[in-house]
Amino acid sequence: MYIDMIELRIIKEKILVKMRRQGYIENKKRSMKFMYGFILNEAEIKEFEYLLKREMEELILDLKSREIDHIVKRAMRERYQILYKLFKRYADQADCMRYLPSKYFTTKVN
């Protein structure tokens, strides 16, 4: 199961519209946090891990490049941190240690 970030935003907007219509929230723009969840079987978890690993490895290679601007690299570090947080929920400890962000840059990850 692959859910794109755009699809998640569309779902979030539909939920917000429905909640506004039913009077649960005001029409004012508010910052609301939603918890997204999805159910995966073993094959989908392996595919999800593979996609995360591939994306993180690509970011690592780009972070090592001297041609990329520091502002772009900061955005890439933030993306890496998000991906790593997702990855450590599914991966075993050895893989988590392999992709530990502190190996590649010095910003803190919770």
Show pLDDT as tens, one digit a residue, over the chain (110 residues).
455 666 667 777 777 777 677 666 555 555 555 556 667 788 888 888 899 999 999 999 988 888 988 899 899 999 999 899 889 888 888 888 898 887 666 544 44
Measure the CA dihedral 59/60/66/72, to 10°.
30
Residue linked to tokens 């893989």: 95
- pLDDT for 13 equals 75
Indicate whether 17 and 61 sit together in one domain: no
Whether residue 52 is found in the same domain as residue 76: yes
- 65, 90: one domain: yes
The answer on 103 and 88 residing in a single domain is: yes
pLDDT at 34: 55
Tell me: do 58 and 106 sit in the same domain: yes
Same domain, 35 and 9: yes
Number of domains in the chain: 2
**Are 46 and 34 in the same domain?**
no
What pLDDT, on the 0 to 100 scale, is given for residue 45?
84
Tokens of 73: 């690299």
Q: Output the pLDDT for position 42.
A: 84
Q: For residues 88, 94, 98 and 100, what is the CA-based torsion angle, rounded to 10 degrees?
A: 40
| Residue-range definition of the domain harbouring residue 28 | 1-39
**26 and 47 assigned to the same domain:** no
Indicate whether 1 and 13 sit together in one domain: yes
